[in-house]
Chain A
C-alpha cells in the first residue's frame, strides 16, 4: 500500500457519473475507483477567542481545566490540554470529573491527560487503537487471509501503544498494560499472551467500562461483597455498561466469573423473588391484587418496575378474576393504547385474520380525519395503525371506529396473520383465513407473559410467515403443522413443530394448549423463542400433547378466557375506571398580575374547554421562572 501525504486535492475526476481519479494541486493525477473522504473535529473556540481567552488549536486549559480566565473552565472537544485536543468520549468524562472538582474547590483532583484509545463501533470492522501506536519498536502479527492485524508498540522497553484489527481479544489487558507502562521483554510473546487473556486474567484494576470508569475489581466486589447477582443489578449499582454499552458482554462475563450468574431470574430484583416463589404465595394465600402481594412479600414496593409483572401473575393465577389495580400497570395498559415517543398514542383496532371490509375502512378513514391522525400505517401484522392520537381523544376515536381493541399495546395475544388459503389461492391446501379468524376470536383479550404473534398459512409456501411466529400453523397435504417459538424481529428463529395433525380442530387444540402452557410457565417478558428452547421440545410435547394434560390446560384456558372475554378494554370509554382515566387536569391559566384572581383558580368554566385553554395570550405575558418547557406534552 502506498500512502501519499501532504497533497491538496483540487478536483475529483469522473465520467459517466463514475469517479475516475483525483487531481492534486501539483497537477499530478491518481486513478481511483472509489473516493472516501474523512474529516476530523475542529474545536469550536470562537466564543473564547472573542472573549480574549488564550487559544491555540483549542481553548487552552491547565490541569484544573481552567482557561486563562480562571473563572472560566473548558472541557471536552473544544479544550486543549498540554497540547492535546481530544475528540473521543472517554477523556471527556475524565475532564468532567476534574472540572466538577475545580468548581467545588476540591483540591488534589488534577487532569494529567488521557490515554487516547478508541474502539471502532462499525459493523463488521473490529478495530482497537491504544496510545502511541508508533513507538520505537515492538512486534506485529498479521494474518492477511483472516484479515487480522495485531501490533504492540514499545518505547524504552515499555509498552506505549497497540493496534488490534479483526481480532480484538485482549483489549482490556493491553489497555491496562499501556496505562501502567508495563515493561515487556518479548513483545511478540506478550501479544500472543494478550490474545489468550480471558476476563479471568484481567487484573482487578483493569478498567472495563471507560464511559463510567469502572474497573474489574468494582464489578467483582459488587457480586462478592454487595450480593448483586445479575448483570442488570451489577450494572445498576456500578454503572458499568450504562454509557455506550460496548462493554456489556464483558460485564456479563465478569459477573459470571465472580459467581453471580447461577442465580435464578428474579421477577422482583429488589426483593430477589422469583416468579415461582411469588406464584406460590399468591396461590397459597389467595391474593387477588398486586397491593396484597406487595404487602405480604414486599415485591413491587421498591423500584416498581416489576409491578406490571406482578399484575400479570395475579391476573393469570386468578384466571382473570383478580382485583385490577391500574396503578400497577404501564400507561399502555391504563389507557389501552401504545404510547409513542412524543407522548401521543397509537390505535390499532382488532382486524381478525387481517380481514377487513369497506364499512370498517370508511369509519377508520373518517376517524383519522376527525382526530387529526398523523399517519395511517399498515402494520406487518396485517392491521391498520392510527398514529399520533391524543390521550383524551382515545375514547371518542374508539367510539367512532366501533371496532374492538387489537391489544397492540400490551403483552397480550396480538393478531393471527393469515394468507388467503383455499378461499382464493390456487395453491391453497387449508382454509387459512377461517382458521386465522377463529383463532383470533378464541384467543383475543388474553394477556400473556410477552406479546404473542401468530399466523396461519394455507400451504407450505407459507405466505403468512407462520413458521417465524410465536404460534404458527401451516397447512400441508392431509392436515396441519403446528409451530411454536418462532421469531422474526430482534431475534430470528424458526419455530419448532410441536405436532402434525389431521384436523383443524386438533390444530386449534394443540395451539391453544401451548398458549395456555406458555401463559402459566413463562417469565414476564420471556418471548416464546426463549421459552420453547428453555423448556425443551420433549417436555413441551409431553405437556401439550398428552391427552389429560392437554384437557386440563384447555379447561384452565377456558376459565381465563371467559373472564377476559367479558370486557373489551376499549369499552372503558363508556365506563372509565376513574374520572380522569383519559384526561389531563384542566389547564391553569394565569391572568395578568394584578387582575382579579378568580380566573386563575380551578376548573373555571372558561378553562374547561381543555386544549383551547392551554395557551391564551394573557397567560403568556407572565414569564415563568426556570427553564422553558421543552415542547408541550
Chain B
C-alpha cells in the first residue's frame, strides 16, 4: 500500500494506537504533531502550545477542543484556533482514516524559503478552516 513519497497522506499510525478521546504525539521529520481521536474521527495539530510550549497531545479532549495539560489553554481540534485566550492558534493538518490506518498531510516543499513556507502553510490551513469564521475566543466556559 505504499505510494511514492508526497506531501499528502503520510501514514502515521494504526487507528487503534490512539485511545478514544485522547491524543498522541507523532514526530514527522523532526516536527512534533499531535494526533487526536474522538467519536467524530481523527484530528491533527501542531503539538506545541502557543502559551508556554506544552504538549497538546497530552491534553484533555472535550467539545471538539483540546486543553493544554500545562495551563488549560484550549484549541479547536479541527482548526487549531485558540479558544478563550490570546496566545494564538496552532497549525491544523489534514488527517484521514482509511482502512484502519491514519494518514496526515504535512505540507512539504523542497528548498522552500521561509516566506514561501508560511504561505504554503496558510493555504493548507485554509482547506480545513471555515472561511470567515468568527473567533470563538471568550465564548468558552
Contact = CB atoms under 8 A, between A and B. Distances in A.
Contacts of B139: 237
* Interface range on chain B (Cβ under 8 Å from partner): 35 or more
Given A339-B70, A625-B109, A590 B28 contact: yes
B130 interface: no
Contact of A629 (B2, B10, B30, B111): B30
Contact of B29 (A308, A330, A622): A622
Interface in A597-627: 597-598, 600-603, 614-615, 619-620, 622-627
A601 B2 contact: yes
Q: In the complex, which of the residues A342, A602, A614, A626 has the most CB atoms of chain B within 10 Å of its own CB atom?
A: A626
Nearest to B6: A597
Given A302-B63, A327-B61, A588 B141 contact: no
A586 B13 contact: yes
B47 interface: yes
A341 interface: yes
A303 B22 contact: no
A349 interface: no
Name the prevailing secondary structure of the A interface residues: loop
Contact of A301 (B11, B63, B72, B140): B63
A305 B109 contact: no
Contact of B19 (A341, A580, A600, A632): A580
Contact of B25 (A238, A589, A594, A633): A633
Contacts of A627: 91, 117-118, 121
Given A327-B20, A331-B69, A600-B5, A584 B30 contact: no
Interface residues of A, number: 63
Point out which of A341, A584, A598, A603 has the most chain B C-beta atoms below 10 A from its C-beta: A584
A269 B72 CA distance: 15
A544 B32 CA distance: 52
B17 interface: yes
Nearest to A344: B55
Interface string B57-80: 111111101010110101000000
Given A327-B20, A585-B35, A624 B67 contact: no
B28 A307 contact: no
A580 B24 contact: yes
B126 to A, nearest CB: 13
Which of A326, A586, A629 neighbours the largest number of chain B CB atoms within 10 Å of its CB?
Answer: A629
B92 to A, nearest CB: 11
A83 interface: no
Which of A304, A327, A328, A623 gathers the greatest number of chain B CB atoms within 10 Å?
Answer: A304
Contact of B27 (A587, A625, A626): A587
B62 A303 contact: yes
Contacts of A588: 10-12, 26-29
Contact of A343 (B55, B85, B110): B55
Nearest to A272: B141
B121 A236 contact: no
Most buried by B among A586, A594, A625, A627: A625
Contact of B110 (A303, A615, A623): A623
- Ranked nearest first, the 7 interchain pairs of A and B with the lowest CB-CB distance are A304-B62, A327-B21, A626-B121, A270-B141, A585-B26, A331-B58, A625-B107
21 contacts: A236-B138, A238-B138, A239-B138, A270-B141, A300-B62, A301-B63, A304-B61, A304-B63, A341-B52, A343-B58, A585-B12, A586-B26, A588-B29, A590-B29, A598-B2, A622-B108, A625-B112, A627-B117, A629-B46, A633-B32, A633-B47
Interface of B: 1-5, 10-13, 16-22, 24-32, 35, 46-48, 52-55, 57-63, 65, 67, 69-70, 72, 74, 84-86, 91, 101, 106-112, 116-118, 120-121, 124, 137-141
Given A236-B84, A303-B62, A588-B29, 14 more contacts: A242-B85, A302-B63, A304-B62, A305-B72, A307-B62, A339-B55, A339-B70, A580-B24, A586-B13, A590-B108, A622-B108, A623-B109, A629-B48, A633-B55
